[in-house]
Amino acid sequence: MKLSIYIKFVIIYIAAAVLSFIFVAEGTSRMITNHVTTEKADSLYREALLLSTEYAEDYYRSRSATSLETVSSHLNAIATYINADIWMIDIDGKVILETGKKLISPENNTHILENFDSTAFGTSYYMTGDFFEQFDEEMLSVISPINYGYKVHGYLVIHTEVSELMAEKEELLNIMYITLAVLLGIFLIAVLIIGHIIYYPMKKISKAASEYAAGNLTYQVELETEDEFGRLADSMNLMARELNEMEEYERKFVANISHDFRSPLTSIKGYVEAMMDGTIPVEFQEKYFNIVLFETDRLKKLTEELLTLNSFGSKRGMLEITTFDINAVIKNTAATFEGRCRDRKISIDLLFESWHQPVKADMGKIQQVLYNLIDNAIKFSNDNSSIEVETTVRHEKVFISVKDHGSGIPKESQKKIWERFYKTDTSRGKDKRGTGLGLAIVKEIIQTHDEHINVISTEGVGTEFTFSLPKA
């Protein structure tokens, strides 16, 4: 049978509580016994000391029967009052007087303690036991010497039953047992409450982990607490959402790749088969060869861009940071588009704050960023328009912007343009070569440099991309 942590916790507490109760009860019982005995002995000793001084000494002054009768009368009264037996014993162990018994003259008294030894008390003033085999039950005996003329003549002993002390001990123990039981009960309630507070959030979190392991990433942990469990639940919910989004992204990613590869491959296969079986006459084959070449170039570009994106996993370790003139790289990159710009009568205007502007970055990857941004600007620009590429310096950063005066990006699409394979409708209409990876590559390169890129676009007016690089 599998037990939950909560049940195990309660069982451990109950076992610990029972053992603690036993140990505490045992230890407390001994402590209370010693306390009650010592307290009673102290009280009786004070009484014995007083009696030996005020009464017992009178006998040894006169050593007369009359004096002994007087002492006996006083001691009997006091013995009744304190509910104890009082003895007078001489130094030889002869019992001179016993309260509650008929007084016998010292000459005729035969009650002698054979093994009496006042040193048996040691450094203490009391003892428990049968008092030299004089009692059948356990007694508490307190002894006080009787001094007269700077000499010990005898001893005054007070006896009381230990069983009476045990009754008092049991009363105190019962109070202690009840108090301890109440405290353990309160602690048990506290344990149950704390266990509930801890266990049930853990149970919900464990359930969520099982759901996630089973592939149910839409499962949400419902905890509305503001403590660590609440924050953990929020983190798990966020993780699940991100994993779900990642899983959805991967599905879309695979679907997009499949589509983007399948479409040109289907075209190539269809045209090649048609030319091979003669469906397409020889005089028209050149046209379709060009289409096949176009689709092949598209596949090549798609493959290269996928490999480029895949290479950004290790971040900085992939960069070859050097110092170079960003203005020179811009001029060289812009020059590669002269043919396309001339055909559409688009001008590329270079606006530099200074002729030479050194930066620290990976020149090859920044050149790719510029190429993708300028290519994108040309793609969306209107004929007979201009594109501005500008560099400015602010503090320790160089800002590079690429601005076109074209169709712009719809507001609802501006957050999506960085996604892999995302294409606006305009892109699909104007440029069949587009893979939807260009801007994703741009963002990956800039983020790998620990820099930022932003876009400002107004539909029907134009678009401006701006990114930063560290100044050299």
Per-residue pLDDT tens over the stretch 211-241: 888 888 888 887 777 777 788 888 888 888 8
Residue 221 included in any domain: no
Residue 98 included in any domain: yes
What does the block give as tokens for 221?
């942990």
Question: Does one domain contain both 380 and 275?
Answer: no
Residue 203 included in any domain: no
Question: Does one domain contain both 142 and 283?
Answer: no
Q: Does position 100 have pLDDT exceeding 80, yes or no? A: yes
State the CATH number of the domain containing residue 423: 3.30.565.10
Q: Does position 312 have pLDDT exceeding 90, yes or no? A: no
Which pLDDT does position 424 carry in this prediction?
64
3-state secondary structure of 310: helix
Q: Which of 420, 403, 93 is nearest to 254 (CA)?
A: 420
Question: Does one domain contain both 283 and 389?
Answer: no
Which pLDDT does position 310 carry in this prediction?
66
* Contact in structure between 174 and 81 (CB atoms under 8 Å): no
Question: Does one domain contain both 276 and 406?
Answer: no
Mean pLDDT of the 356-363 span = 93
Question: Does one domain contain both 327 and 465?
Answer: yes
Question: Does one domain contain both 161 and 254?
Answer: no
The parent domain of residue 11 ranges over 5-168
Which pLDDT does position 70 carry in this prediction?
86
Residue 205 included in any domain: no
Question: Does one domain contain both 439 and 293?
Answer: no
Confidence category of residue 428, pLDDT binned at 50, 70, 90 = very low
Residue 418 included in any domain: yes
Number of domains within the chain: 3
What pTM does this model have? 0.45
Q: What is the mean pLDDT of the chain?
A: 82
Which pLDDT does position 261 carry in this prediction?
74
Residue 254 included in any domain: yes
Question: Does one domain contain both 333 and 305?
Answer: no
What does the block give as tokens for 381?
């620009």
* Contact in structure between 12 and 194 (CB atoms under 8 Å): no
Question: Does one domain contain both 286 and 415?
Answer: no
| Ranges of H-type helices in 214-284 | 228-276
Confidence category of residue 427, pLDDT binned at 50, 70, 90 = very low
The DSSP symbol for 363 reads H
Question: Does one domain contain both 349 and 286?
Answer: no
CA distances from 97 to 64, 152, 157, 270, 300 (A): 13, 17, 10, 136, 127
Of 310, 345, 360, the position where a domain reaches its end is: 310
Residue type at position 59:
Y
Of 252, 287, 310, the position where a domain reaches its end is: 310
Q: Does position 400 have pLDDT exceeding 60, yes or no? A: yes
Of 168, 194, 211, the position where a domain reaches its end is: 168
